[in-house]
Each structure stands twice: as structure tokens, then as C-alpha cells.
């Protein structure tokens, strides 16, 4: 959430940033924010004046009673009663303006970093890096959903029977490969200095709001209405919320965390090959990395995250590229996002497998996550997160790019985790 003071002092910067995102009615909502803030501050001043006058009169009344001037004291008591009623009305008005302001601020996305270019959609994203050799699989290469059926390692129909579309069942070596990837990703993250956590898979509304899923993604999350809990769309939500409301010291930086969770997303996909198989699911596994950083060091930390993910993909020997997302494709809470995509040779297309993002103070403002700077003043921290990695499309890429006439070869780095070298 943007800070209202920043909006007030940098209105043109905010509008220019929102224009990069093609944010509709930016000027109108910013004007509403400024008006609500002006009304809130004016009401606060009026309330403070009434409370100050009431306190002054209370002291006078005490002195009058002590000196025996009861009649004068009772007259002032009547006035304090009126002031109490006035303060109650002002408090209600103030709460109304504060709620209005909060609701308006919840509707405004983060301001993109200066390096982010304007754009409408993924078509306008910038490719900034590419690495790896795309294998020549010949004309008989199969997409992963056909390989899954051929080797009986993922059953999409069985998942549909049990739950519905988008909930696959992993079987035999498919399940073992899935588990191997999770353990490998966690080990790599731990070696890089991330502390592992096991976190709840459901969160309350306060947690979903703090990291920006609510109200922006309301309707895209699975909601248990009886208990008012939400199934998590990513481990970012519970891990980041571990630090909600904290006041930390500069010496605590950097705070790094990693965790594996299943992820749940209601997003309805269109039909066709681009969403077949593992390409888009309602439940999938992901290993996440999260950082809480000093504002001066958060972009260096983002670069470190990007290099860390690159190292994993190099070890898996998968062809990949990195995109810097344009304003129109950058997520609601992010200031800068790098997407990683691997090339699926059998599908002849790029598949997104990771995002690494810096949210700057946007999440921290909602989280009330602050640190004490060297001057002893509290300041908002920066939060970052990245997928390291999302499993479905990594698994799809391995199945497709490592297929041979004899079966599917397991990447060398995963063999110790799997306990086998081929799926046949």
C-alpha cells in the first residue's frame, strides 16, 4: 500500500507511475485519496482542539470545586458534557474518513521502479537474458501430458475424478521426482543462507490483506467461509506475515526465509494446449524465498535472488530466459519483477517458472513492518520474494526436454534425490 504522505508530496510521480501500468482513472482516485486525507487531517485537528479544551476545563473545574465555587464549576461541567458529545461525533467522522482513505489506498497498485517500461501486456516485456541449449528432440517429441500417460507418472483424469480439473495425481516415479525437486530446491536455498520454515496452508484475512492478495485478488483465492480462512496462493503469504507488526533492528538485516507449500488458485483458465497438463493448475507445489531488507540494499538483494535462481536452472541444465516485466504486466504489489521462463521444446513455447520481485515498502506499509534506523527513528523495511521454484512447469520442462527414445533421463543433479536415472 502506498503511503498517503508520499502521494501527497509526489502526486505527479505517482500519476506517472500509474500511467506505466495503464491504471484506469488514476487522477480521479488520487484526487479522492487527497480529499479524504485532507478531511481526515482537518477532522483530527478539530478533535484535538476539542479534547484539549475539554482537558483544560476539567482542570479548571477541579480548581473551582477546591475553592468552593461550585456554581461556576457546574456551568463548566455542562460545557464539558457538550464537548464530550462533540468529540464523540468528531471521532466517528474521523473513523469514517480513515476507513474511506484506507479503502481507496487498497485500490492503488505499487509504483513501478524507474527501470520498468510502460506496456500493456506480456507482449511488451523485455527479454534481458537467455542461457542454455535447446535440445533437438526430432519430430516425434511428445508434450509432457502424453509422456505422463505413456510412463504412468501423472494421472490427470484421476485427479479430475477425485476433485476436478487442475488437481493432478502424481504416481510412482512421477511422485518421487516431484519430491526430489522439492528437496533439491530447499537444499539449494538453505545453502544460499535462507532459513527454512514450515508454515500454515491457510491464512486469515489480515494476512491476505497484508501481502496484497486482498482485496485485489478476492475471488481468485479459495475461501473457507465458515472459519473465514483462505487457502494460500503461495508460501509468500504466510512467510511474509511472520514479520507482520514487527519492529526490527538494522542489525537484523537481511532476514531470509524459504519454505515449501502446496499452492491453491481458483483462476479459471481458458481451453487449449497452452493450459493443458501441468501448464495451469488449481493446486501445485512451490518452494518460495522471501527477504526482508534495508531499503538501501533491497535491489542488490533482488540481483542476488536472480543469480540464485539462475544457478538452479544451470544445474538442471534447462534452457531459460529472464524477462523484465513492463508496467502493464507487473503484479499489483511489485515495484520490479523479473520473470524466468524455460523453453519447452515439445510444446515449442516458453513457460513461466519463477518470478523475483521487490515490493519496496508497499507490503511493509500494510504489514506495519518497520525497523529502527541509526538515528533511532522507525522506518518501513523492504520486502522481496521469488519462486525457487514452482514445480509444475519445471517438471514439464524436464519431462519434455530430457525425453529420449529409451525414456526420460533424470538431470544429473537430481539423481541422488530421486534414486534413479531414467523413467521408462
The answer to whether 176 is a known ligand-binding residue is: no
Q: What is the spatial order of strands in the sheet that 202-204 belongs to?
A: 202-204, 229-231, 223-224
Query: Using an 8 Å Cβ cutoff, are 241 and 211 in contact?
Result: yes
CA distance 176 to 181: 9
Give the integer Cα–Cα distance in Å for 52 and 73: 18
Report how far residue 204's alpha carbon sits from residue 224's, in angstroms, rounded to the nearest whole number: 10
Instruction: Give the residue among 125, 142, 387, 133 at the shortest CA–CA distance from 276.
Output: 142
The candidate with the shortest Cα–Cα distance to 388, out of 263, 239, 236, 286, is 286
Contact 325, 337 (CB under 8 A): yes
Is 58 annotated as a binding-site member? no
Q: What is the C-alpha to C-alpha distance for residues 343 and 402, in angstroms, rounded to an integer?
A: 12
- HSE (side-chain half, CA atoms, 13 Å) at 133: 6
122 known ligand binder: no
Residue 337 contacts by C-beta under 8 Å, 6 or more apart in sequence? Answer: 324, 325, 330, 331, 355, 356, 357
**Is 314 one of the annotated binding-site residues?**
no
Which of 220, 228, 250, 182 is CA-nearest to residue 391? Answer: 182
Cα-only R_g, the chain:
27
The reply, when asked if residue 352 is annotated as ligand binding, is yes
267 is in an annotated binding site: yes
Say whether 143 sits in a helix, a strand or coil.
coil
For residue 314, the surrounding DSSP H or E stretch is helix 298-316
The answer to whether the annotation marks 355 as part of a ligand binding site is: yes
Contact 331, 213 (CB under 8 A): no
For residue 288, say whether it is annotated as part of any ligand binding site.
yes
Distance of CA 261 to the CA centre of its chain: 15
CA dihedral sign of residues 222, 228, 233, 235: negative
Give the residue numbers of the binding site for L-serine: 234, 265, 288, 385
> Which residues are annotated binding-site positions for ATP?
265-267, 352-355
Q: Output the known binding site.
A: 234, 265-267, 288, 352-355, 385
Amino acid at each position: 500500500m502506498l503511503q498517503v504522505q508520499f502521494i501527497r508530496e509526489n502526486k505527479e510521480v505517482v500519476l506517472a507511475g500509474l500511467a506505466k501500468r495503464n491504471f484506469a482513472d488514476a487522477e480521479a482516485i488520487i484526487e479522492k485519496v487527497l480529499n479524504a486525507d485532507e478531511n481526515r487531517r482537518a477532522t483530527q485537528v478539530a478533535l484535538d482542539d476539542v479534547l484539549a479544551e475539554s482537558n483544560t476545563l476539567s482542570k479548571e473545574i477541579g480548581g473551582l470545586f477546591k475553592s468552593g465555587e461550585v456554581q461556576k464549576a457546574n456551568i463548566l461541567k455542562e460545557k464539558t458534557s457538550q464537548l464530550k458529545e462533540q468529540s464523540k461525533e468528531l471521532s466517528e467522522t474521523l473513523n469514517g474518513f480513515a476507513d474511506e482513505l484506507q479503502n481507496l489506498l487498497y485500490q492503488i497498485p505499487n509504483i513501478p521502479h524507474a527501470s520498468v517500461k510502460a506496456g500493456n501486456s506480456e507482449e511488451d516485456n523485455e527479454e534481458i537474458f537467455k542461457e542454455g541449449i535447446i535440445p533437438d528432440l526430432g519430430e516425434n517429441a511428445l508434450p509432457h501430458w502424453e509422456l505422463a500417460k505413456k510412463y504412468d507418472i501423472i494421472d490427470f483424469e484421476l485427479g479430475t475424478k477425485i476433485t476436478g480439473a487442475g488437481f493432478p495425481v502424481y504416481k510412482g516415479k512421477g511422485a518421487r521426482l516431484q519430491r526430489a525437486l522439492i528437496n533439491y530446491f530447499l537444499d539449494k536455498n538453505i545453502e544460499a543462507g535462507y532459513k527454512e520454515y514450515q508454515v500454515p496452508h491457510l491464512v486469515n484475512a489480515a494476512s491476505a490483506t497484508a501481502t496484497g492478495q486482498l482485496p485485489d485478488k478476492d475471488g481468485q483465492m479459495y475461501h473457507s467461509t465458515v472459519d473465514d480462512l483462505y487457502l494460500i496462493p503461495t508460501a509468500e503469504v504466510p512467510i511474509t506475515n511472520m514479520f507482520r507488526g514487527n519492529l526490527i533492528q538494522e542489525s537484523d538485516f537481511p532476514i531470509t526465509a524459504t519454505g515449501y507449500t502446496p499452492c491453491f488458485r481458483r483462476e479459471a483458465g481458458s481451453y487449449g494446449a497452452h493450459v493443458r497438463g501441468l501448464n495451469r493448475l488449481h493446486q501445485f507445489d512451490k518452494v518460495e524465498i522471501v527477504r526482508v531488507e534495508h531499503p538501501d540494499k533491497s535491489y542488490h538483494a533482488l540481483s542476488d535472488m536472480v543469480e540464485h535462481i539462475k544457478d538452479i536452472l544451470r544445474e538442471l541444465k534447462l534452457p531459460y530466459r529472464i524477462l523484465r516485466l513492463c508496467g502493464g504486466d507487473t503484479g499489483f504489489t511489485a515495484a520490479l519483477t523479473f520473470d524466468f521462463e524455460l523453453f519447452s521444446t515439445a510444446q515449442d513455447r516458453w513457460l513461466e517458472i519463477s518470478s523475483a520481485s521487490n515490493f519496496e515498502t508497499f507490503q511493509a506499509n500494510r504489514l506495519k513492518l518497520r525497523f529502527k534506523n541509526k538515528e533511532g527513528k522507525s522506518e518501513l523495511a523492504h520486502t522481496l520474494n521469488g519462486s525457487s521454484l514452482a514445480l509444475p512447469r519445471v517438471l514439464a520442462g524436464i519431462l519434455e526436454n530430457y525425453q529420449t527414445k529409451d525414456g526420460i533421463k533424470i538431470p544429473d543433479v537430481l539423481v541422488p534425490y530421486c534414486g534413479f536415472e531414467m523413467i521408462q
